[in-house]
Amino acid sequence: MQNLIDFISFSDPNVRYVVLGNVLLAASAAMVGAFILLQKKALVGDAVSHAVLPGVCAAFLFSGSKNTALMLIGAFVSGWLALITIDYIAAKSKIKKDAAIGLVLSVFFGTGMVMMTYIQQSGNAAQSGLDHFIFGNAATLVGADLVVFSILAAVLLLAVGVFFKAFALVAFDKPYAEALGYPVRRLDLLLTSLTVLAVVTGITAVGVVLMAAMLVTPAAAARYWTDNIRRMVGIAVAFGVFAGLSGAYISYVAPAMPTGPWMVVVSSAIAFFSFFFAPRKGIVPRMYMQRKNQRVIVEENTLKMFYHLGERNSHFDGMRSLDELASTREVNKALLKTALRRLVAKGLLASRDGQWALTDAGHQKAMRVVRLHRLWELYLTKYMDIASDHVHDDAETIEHILTPELERELEHQLGYPDKDPHDTEIPK
């Protein structure tokens, strides 16, 4: 608990640097990442985050020290070169874009690893800690870095803010953007540069490889929560910031823990949560909806059994046994029993001595379902010219979903009929 208070109070200047640095980089990465995702270029982020490594190493070899600004410049140059190479290969050769990405990613990263190994064995004292650039270590952030970060993040925020409309247009409909006279090529180049910049911003804290996740994951998670692009970018930034804060906190509490991987773990957890539980789009709410539908169908079918038995001997409120009910249609008895129990609980059925009867409310509801069934059968034969012996199965489904408004409209169109196509009475 004391840890948390220390962390939140920002009393330790190191904490301040780490937290601010993480928030800035996570926010800017998530914002740019949203557009990468919408342009279906998620793999490009992956390629860039691998391809910056040789640039970092080259900058170190050139300067002989761990100068952050210089390394960021090196990273930017090699990340950018990689993207240009990918586009060039895809445009000028038989190799398709996915293969070009795979190729460039591994060649650049491989070269970077070779250079890294060389540096580590060169005996240069300054090299210790260079490997942090692979997985990142927010604890190494110092005040001077923060200035660089803030500038980069400000540039990213400003650029995305200014070109938001144009980026969205290009992501949705590129030929149309071109037809409107928008500089599509230059906008693409700008987004590419912003992507590289976002990755570069993260390399000290998160590391080169894992920045790909910080680009795409918050945006992918945000897509589950909204259908509005502005809100989506906002939510992505919020998710990114939360992951950044969590990563910083965890590595503050347990200094042996690397910041970058924890940020990625947290943002992946958010993504998984969204994937399963986001309202409407998540898997669980969708499953719940389907279960609910299934229940409604079983319950309404059960009520119909009572009504059909009632029609047979014109005695609608008689007590019925399980076997008697099951004789009206093919049904799983265990399922029927649970449905009966639920209907009793809802007050639509009354039960006594292992037998059941419709209550008044139950009778009304059963009548309505039967009515809708027969109205729909009539509609199908009358307006869609379907033979009367082919309409039953369709009506079995439709009877459960017709709303009262649709029911009125149906009745009106059919001229308030009395009989269905099988000449059975339509209850009122």
Partner 1 sequence: MIVHTQQPVLEVHDLTVSYSRKPVLWGVDFTLPTGCIAGIVGPNGAGKSTLLKSIMGLIPLSSGYVKLFDRPLEEVRHRVSYVPQRESVDWDFPVSVLDVVLMGRYGKVGLFRNTGTRDSAIALDCLDKVGMSAFAKRQISQLSGGQQQRVFLARALAQEADIYFMDEPFAGVDAATEQAIIKLLREMASANKTIVVVHHDLQSVRAYFDWLILLNMHLVAAGPTDQVFTEEMMQQAYGGRLSLLSQVGDVMEKRAFPSREH
In the complex, the residues that contact partner 1 under the rule CB under 8 A are 38, 40, 162-163, 165-166, 168-169, 171-173, 175-183, 223, 226-229, 232
- Side chain identity at residue 158, one-letter code: L
φ and ψ at 267, to 5 degrees? -70, -30
Q: Which is nearer to partner 1, 39 or 268 (CB)?
A: 39
Q: Which is nearer to partner 1, 175 or 415 (CB)?
A: 175
Residues 166/182, Cβ–Cβ less than 8 Å = yes
Residues 143/14, Cβ–Cβ less than 8 Å = no
Residue with tokens 């169109």: 413
Q: Which is nearer to partner 1, 171 or 199 (CB)?
A: 171
Q: Which is nearer to partner 1, 39 or 388 (CB)?
A: 39
- Give least dist CB 43 to partner 1, A: 17
Q: Which is nearer to partner 1, 179 or 287 (CB)?
A: 179
- Give least dist CB 16 to partner 1, A: 35
Distance CA 385, CA 380 (A): 7
DSSP output for 147-212: HHHHHHHHHHHHHHHHHHHHHHHHHH-HHHHHHTT--HHHHHHHHHHHHHHHHHHHTTTT-TTTHH
Q: Compute the CA torsion angle 73, 90, 184, 238 (nearest 10 deg).
A: -60
- Give least dist CB 188 to partner 1, A: 14
- Give least dist CB 382 to partner 1, A: 21
- Give least dist CB 215 to partner 1, A: 18
- Give least dist CB 102 to partner 1, A: 23
φ and ψ at 371, to 5 degrees? -60, -50
At a CB cut-off of 8 Å and minimum separation 6, what does 233 contact?
30, 31, 34, 160, 164, 219, 222
- Give least dist CB 287 to partner 1, A: 20
- Give least dist CB 65 to partner 1, A: 41
- Give least dist CB 173 to partner 1, A: 5
Q: Which is nearer to partner 1, 105 or 237 (CB)?
A: 237
Q: Which is nearer to partner 1, 227 or 385 (CB)?
A: 227
Q: Which is nearer to partner 1, 109 or 225 (CB)?
A: 225
DSSP output for 100-126: HHHHHHHHHHHHHHHHHHHHHTTT-GG
Q: Which is nearer to partner 1, 86 or 159 (CB)?
A: 159
At a CB cut-off of 8 Å and minimum separation 6, what does 203 contact?
52, 56, 71, 72, 75, 133, 136, 211
Distance CA 194, CA 196 (A): 5
Residues 79/51, Cβ–Cβ less than 8 Å = yes
Q: Euclidean distance between the first and final Cα of the chain, in Å?
A: 67
3-class secondary-structure state, position 30 = helix
